[in-house]
Amino acid sequence: MSGDLFSPAGVTFKPISRKYINSQFVVLFIWVAIMLIGCAVAPLASGNPWLWLLEIGPLVLLVWQMWLIPRQVKSWGYAEGEKNLYIRRGIMFKKMWAVPYGRMQFVDVQQGPLDRAFGLARVSLKTASMESNADIPGLPRDEADRIRTVLTERGEALRAGL
């Protein structure tokens, strides 16, 4: 038995694409820009120069998230086991899903405009249980398509009676 709760024995996790970091940075920059504009309105509207200190909050958030996002992306991983698909993520608060192939109802591939710009996609797994639905973000398009095909085939082969 493996000593690590989040690394089952005999399973090798694959990381998601590093391009997902850049995708998340774009989202971060958009939100920080909106916050900076909002924080700039207060001193301009009131004439109080001390309100410019409000700009510090979004800038601190920006620096913190630029440090955190690469670590969060690095924590994501997925592995195709014999009977389960394993997905894990988290740095401080780790989480791992073990989704049995035979319990998957459908596998969905999603791609928004930002994902398309970076050549990424998200695979979503749906099961009968709301608790076991899982996503794998930041996959290269070809890998997302491959995973959808493999999971669909394995799901059909191991279909459990509901």
pLDDT digits (tens, 9 = 90+) for 71-122: 999 999 999 988 899 999 999 999 998 888 888 888 999 999 999 999 999 9
Q: Are 45 and 117 contained in the same domain?
A: no
Average pLDDT, the chain: 89
Q: Are 104 and 140 contained in the same domain?
A: yes
Please report whether residue 135 resides in a domain: yes
Q: Are 111 and 67 contained in the same domain?
A: no
Q: Which residues pair with 14 in a beta bridge?
A: 78
Please report whether residue 13 resides in a domain: no
Q: What is the pLDDT of residue 20?
A: 98
Q: Are 59 and 100 contained in the same domain?
A: no
Q: What is the pLDDT of residue 128?
A: 77
- In terms of C-beta density within 10 A (0-12 exposed, 13-18 middle, 19 or more buried), how is residue 87 classed? buried
What mean pLDDT do residues 137-162 have? 85
Q: Are 26 and 83 contained in the same domain?
A: no
Domain containing residue 32: 19-71
Q: Domain count for the chain, please give it.
A: 2
Q: Are 51 and 116 contained in the same domain?
A: no
What lies within 8 Å, CB to CB, of 11 at 6+ separation is: 79, 81, 86
Whole-structure pTM value: 0.84
